[in-house]
Amino acid sequence: MGKLSREAIVEAAVRRIDAEGLDGLSMRRVGKDLGVEAMSLYRYVPNKTALLDAIHASVLEEVQIPAPTHDWKSDARRLATSLLDTLLKHPGAMELFPTRPAYTEGSLDRLEASLAILERAGMPEPLRLAAMQSLYLFVVGHALFETHASKVGDDLDYRSLPAGRYPNLRKASVPAARQSFRHGLDVWVRGVEASAPQEEPQSLTSRLRSLRRR
Amino acid sequence: MGKLSREAIVEAAVRRIDAEGLDGLSMRRVGKDLGVEAMSLYRYVPNKTALLDAIHASVLEEVQIPAPTHDWKSDARRLATSLLDTLLKHPGAMELFPTRPAYTEGSLDRLEASLAILERAGMPEPLRLAAMQSLYLFVVGHALFETHASKVGDDLDYRSLPAGRYPNLRKASVPAARQSFRHGLDVWVRGVEASAPQEEPQSLTSRLRSLRRR
DNA sequence: ACCAAAGACTTACACTGTAACCATGGACTT
DNA sequence: AAGTCCATGGTTACAGTGTAAGTCTTTGGT
């Protein structure tokens, strides 16, 4: 029965959320998990919203930042996949991601690493933040979609739709979730590539120079 | 005092959500708005989750499908903007979008229209659904971000960060929300463009042919 | 030994979703 | 006209929620 602390509370809350989803999280339950009354938590957390914010930050900090290589495309892909992986590890907590902007230290670190990737990609400055945000939103959205689609039994079969009304949908192929994720990434990577001014890849020396600059 | 009905309930619920956000929506309040006890709603709606689903569907059906033109890029942009517009009109309801997969008729119609756009773009089949989903997720995510970022007073100023740790963030330019949306769209459009096999645009006659095919 | 403060507990309030049951009025059958 | 049914809405009740306010209890410093 270790001492109560903000971290211990957040930790317990994440466990509860992992086990029973966001709805299973109540102050009373978290308290019980820690062998303590609900109101005792309020000594360390001003209210439930703040606790949710802390959970969000905590999960975000689990995301591994892959070490930069010479290949910005693979760096971007690995960062995105890393984010996807931790999100899928916390199906309940990831519902917090779309609505909470993150200004914690951990999230700034990750944003910084993302922008560095885009710099190496040769993307001009006024676009970088927007491009990164679109990637982030895609990953989070996909993670949500992947976990919620599997709840509906299995996907609706588009082939059983009336052909007259839905010609394109009927012949659409529904890729497996992971593949659909990869395809989405492909579109993004190609989009970034096409937004970089120079068509040819950066020279090796300039690549190394930007890597050395931390 | 019109008769109670499922539609009237959904309508009232949407109004409440628009006025006071998702948290302001309770069965009792919706009942009161309709001059009725909370339990009476359960004659038309099995439970609150179903009501939320209905709200989701209702808002989604407000999205205008722009008439297709000869220019798939502008079609895609207009569809995305149309979705963004209705989402921003319902700041509370849009929180429902990330977690609810939509299999209603109205949502299938919109998906069908989207796929038709990608067909005109010359995108090969196995990628279309994934590409469209990535666009959809981007728009929804952006709408959420736009409404929630404005809640935090004004954005954090990246220029006040320690320069040693966040070199890229410090020199990042934070575009206005709308511009950031347009930039994200640009990346997507270029990505789709680069994913289509033929580099040159479709011939005029083949464009018209695919348009005629409904 | 005393005091102060910190940490946890107790009680209480207004509110939530919804299960189970009850009342009523109008339509339909006979 | 009488009787039946049932759709529609009301009532009560229960378990659970976040959290404000106040109270005990333990602990560390002097």
CB B170 within 8 A of CB B124: no
Using 50, 70 and 90 to split pLDDT, how confident is the model at A163? confident
Interchain contact, A192 vs B187, CB within 8 Å:
yes
Summarize the confidence of residues B155-180 as an average pLDDT.
85
- Say which range, A9-13, A210-214, B63-67, B83-87, has the weakest mean pLDDT: A210-214
Length of chain A: 214
Q: Which nucleotides of C are covered by protein (CB under 7 A)?
A: 7-11, 15-21
Using 50, 70 and 90 to split pLDDT, how confident is the model at B196? confident
Task: Write down the pLDDT at residue B41.
Answer: 98
Task: Write down the pLDDT at residue A36.
Answer: 96
- The answer, for A140 touching chain B at a CB cutoff of 8 Å, is yes
Q: What is the pLDDT of residues B11-26, one digit of tens each?
A: 999 999 999 999 999 9
Summarize the confidence of residues B67-72 as an average pLDDT.
94
Task: Write down the pLDDT at residue A149.
Answer: 76
Helix or strand or coil: residue A182?
helix
Q: Which residues of B50-87 are buried (b: 16+ CB within 10 A; e: fewer)?
A: ebbbbbbbbbbebbebeebeeebbebbbbbbbbbbebb
The third-level CATH classification (topology) of the domain covering A6-45 is Arc Repressor Mutant, subunit A (1.10.10)
Question: Which residues have CB atoms below 7 Å from chain C, the nucleic strand?
Answer: A 3-4, 31, 35-40, 43; B 25-29, 38-39, 42, 47-49
Q: What is the mean pLDDT of chain B?
A: 89
Q: What is the pLDDT of residues A125-140, one digit of tens each?
A: 889 999 999 999 999 9
**Cα-based distances in Å from B27 to A23, A134, B21:** 18, 36, 14
- Say which range, A152-166, B73-87, B155-169, has the weakest mean pLDDT: A152-166
Output the distance from A121 CA to C15 C1' rounded to whole Å. Answer: 53
CA distance A174 to chain B (A): 7
DSSP string, A21-68: TGGG--HHHHHHHTTS-GGGGGGT-SSHHHHHHHHHHHHHTTS--PPP
| CATH class entry, domain A72-212 | mainly alpha
Interchain contact, A112 vs B168, CB within 8 Å:
yes
Using 50, 70 and 90 to split pLDDT, how confident is the model at A211? low
Which of B101, B111, B172 is nearest residue A129 as measured by Cβ atoms?
A: B172
Q: Which nucleotides of D are covered by protein (CB under 7 A)?
A: 8-12, 16-22
Helix or strand or coil: residue A102?
coil
CB B170 within 8 A of CB B158: yes
Tokens, residue A189: 């990577």
Residues 6 or more apart in contact with residue A37 via CB below 8 angstroms: A31
Interchain contact, A108 vs B169, CB within 8 Å:
yes
Positive or negative, the CA dihedral B59, B61, B67, B71 is positive
Residues 6 or more apart in contact with residue A134 via CB below 8 angstroms: A188, B138, B142, B183, B184, B187, B188
Positive or negative, the CA dihedral B163, B144, B77, A150 is positive
**Closest residue by Cα to residue A48 from A31, A69, A73:** A31
Percent of chain B with pLDDT over 90: 71
Q: Which residues of B102-135 are buried (b: 16+ CB within 10 A; e: fewer)?
A: beeeebbbbbbbbbbbbbbbbbeeebbbbbbbbb
Output the distance from A140 CA to D1 C1' rounded to whole Å. Answer: 69
Interchain contact, A184 vs B125, CB within 8 Å:
no
B193 → chain A, closest CA residue: A191
User: Would you kindly state where each structural domain of chain A is located, as residue ranges?
Assistant: 6-45, 72-212
Helix or strand or coil: residue B7?
helix
Among 1.10.10.10, 3.40.30.10, 1.10.10.60, 1.10.645.10, what is the CATH number of B6-60? Answer: 1.10.10.60
- C-alpha gyration radius of chain B: 21
Which residues in chain B have their CB less than 8 angstroms from residue A189's CB? Answer: 191
What is the Cα A6 distance to its own chain's centre? 24
Q: What is the pLDDT of residues A63-98, one digit of tens each?
A: 999 999 999 999 999 999 999 999 999 999 999 999
Residues 6 or more apart in contact with residue A154 via CB below 8 angstroms: none
Using 50, 70 and 90 to split pLDDT, how confident is the model at A154? low
Task: Write down the pLDDT at residue B164.
Answer: 87
Tokens, residue A199: 């068509």
- The answer, for B124 touching chain A at a CB cutoff of 8 Å, is no
Residue A168 has what DSSP assignment? H
Task: Write down the pLDDT at residue B214.
Answer: 47
